[in-house]
Amino acid sequence: MKSLWNDQEAAKFADDDLAMRVYTSRLLGQSEDLVLHGGGNTSVKSTQKDIFGNEVEVLYIKGSGWDLKTIEKAGFSPERQKECLQLAAMPELSDVEMVKQLRLALLDPAAPNGSIETLVHACIPFKYVDHSHADAIVVVSNSDDYRDQLEDLFPELLILPYVMPGFDLAKQFDKVVKDGLLEGKKGVILIGHGLFTFADDAKESYELHIEAVDKAEKLILEKRQEARQESSAGELNLLELAKIRKTVSDLRGSAVTIKVNQSKEAVGFSNRSDVNSIATRGTLTPDHSIRTKRTPVIIGDDSTQALESFKADHEAYFARNAGAEHTILDPAPRWGVWKGQGILSFGVNTKEAGQISDIAGHTANGIQDAEALGGWSPVSEKDLFEIEYWELEQRKLKKGGSKPMLQGQVAIVTGAAAGIGRKCAEDLMSHGALVVGIDISPSIESFTSASSLGLVCDIGKEDQLKAVVEKTVATFGGLDLIICNAGIFTAGEYVEDLDSNKWDATLRINLTANQLLVKYAAPYLKLGIEPAVLFVGSRNVGAPGPGAAAYSVSKAGLTQLARVLSLELAPNGIRVNVIHPDAVFDTDLWTPEALARSAERYGMTIEEYKTRNLLKTEIKSANIAEMCTAMVGPLFSKTTGAQVPVDGGNDRII
């Protein structure tokens, strides 16, 4: 590991303690091998004037929820150093009370809560303190052969046994300082936890950190070639993936998405003959257990049995370690080792799944490195339980809170580049769904984001529809919802004049494409979470007009298809419904000129024409989208085979 310090850049912050702290914190945050998703913390001791003009000693400590990679001044909590030291000196203090008192000690009530290790930083008698859960340090300290050699390997660092973060750790540091054990030392290695370095100079503290990690990395590199295995995965079994997602979602009580890691390193780890043993001993660092649980699920030939065993193991683990004050967490794994396929990470959204995937990847590599150093031996089960079931985390659990209506559910929306389809896709996402939008227009690719995927697709081509379904499952782990919106409109030709190619094209896009999409999606919908299919029909089904035979017939056929599908798919819990919009003018199909011509033909103003329904209200794409979301959501969970008009009331239909 190399230092990223730049004298010219650092000189800009020479006269501002907090600005310098931001600079060096970001240097640490740039390396995921040091800091991963909010891990680690940094601080600086300085002074600040209070409202009375008094100089107050302040500990600026990284605030909860901030990431060292992107932290700003506002991300540091200004704690009164005097009060922090008084708290650390108390004989007893619960973590809940500690957090409360630290909140009261803030100089700025709008600041975030300080790190749970605030009192540790306060105890260390140096201006700058850097703390990380550096992979290499944790690996070496979790290695059977090297744990007893740490004092010889790192004579400049104090080696301390693992202690629960929070007030217990603060008491350990308070005693260490008062006993003079930090004299002559430049840092501390906490067994199984991480590394602290400190100095009165920002550069010195940072580079001490880098030097210690570099030394540990060099120890590991000597063994790494034989430690890590690499291999390639076979073809991903998508139906089995969807089955795994279904079971994990049921265990968690919420739909999850899956991020699949099929890198050669991940597949190699999954193929190790000893993976059942080494992967289930514990986390790389204890704080990971809050995100990942104590162990992953190991999936072999029978995923159902593997997940049932994981559930039973978690319940037994809870029973062995819990007290009356504990409430059991859901028994769903947060990551899994799928033998021969790689590593799976489960999250209620893509952000959580991505974070867990990163942690799982580092964990798999770290486990193998420690095993090569003489044996992977993390902290005890009891220690991990205390973190996973921490008093502070249990309080969050009891507060509860509502989740988005469609959180974690996976949807496909056709015709999603613009108009009704785009509004549907956006509305689904606003309620927590992960959406694959497809359209023949290349502009659909702009729809891609962390929680969505925009795919160019000609729905008139069967192979492309099949590929969309498979891509959806491979990306998010399954499929729950489909909104069939895409269609074409052919009007102005009576049947005797209708071109046969137009007739065939209209039926292929408006009817057959939807049948094919459901055909390929059905096996996955059967493994979906509250699965539903919604077809966007038309007022023309109930009230056709002359000159639109192809469109009216295709939409009538689509409605009949929905009725048949509702009968066929109901035994699998899949709902199939239809909505019939009318006069939706805020789409690309309706230019201002076309709207004006139609209004003139009826002898109306444009406003009168747009509201020519019983309720005299304009129907917009957003109104259709809201109904689509509602009908695939829990509000209509007891409804299938229904046809719902969204037209403001049409006297011909009524």
Catalytic residues: 551
DSSP category for residue 296 = P
For residue 476, the surrounding DSSP H or E stretch is: helix 462-476
> Phi then psi for 335, rounded to 5 degrees?
-150, 165
User: Among residues 174, 168, 165, which one has the least CA distance to residue 194?
Assistant: 165
DSSP 74-87: GGEEEEEHHHHHHH
For residue 160, the surrounding DSSP H or E stretch is: strand 157-160
Length reported for the chain? 654
Sequence-separated (6 or more) residues with CB below 8 Å from residue 26: 68, 69, 70, 71
The radius of gyration of the chain from alpha carbons, rounded to an integer in Å, stands at 30
Indicate the residue type of 417. A
DSSP 496-529: GG--HHHHHHHHIIIIIHHHHHHHHHHHHHTTSS
Sequence-separated (6 or more) residues with CB below 8 Å from residue 192: 138, 141, 142, 162, 285, 286, 378, 379, 383
DSSP 406-425: TTT-EEEEES-SSHHHHHHH
Q: Side by side, which strands form the sheet with 452-456?
A: 452-456, 434-439, 410-414, 481-484, 532-536, 575-581, 643-646
- Report angle CA 85, 89, 91 to the nearest 5 degrees: 150
In this structure, the number of other CB atoms found within 10 A of the CB of residue 152 comes to: 9
User: Among residues 16, 67, 84, which one has the least CA distance to residue 46?
Assistant: 16
- Residue 452 and residue 286: Cα distance in Å, rounded? 32
Which 3 state secondary structure label does DSSP give 129? Answer: strand
User: What are the residue ranges of helices labelled H in 343-390?
Assistant: 350-372, 381-388
Indicate the residue type of 386. E
For residue 596, the surrounding DSSP H or E stretch is: helix 592-601
Residue identified by tokens 């049947």 is 495
Give CA 198 to chain center in angstroms.
34
In this structure, the number of other CB atoms found within 10 A of the CB of residue 404 comes to: 14
* Strand duo 55-62 + 76-80: pairing: antiparallel
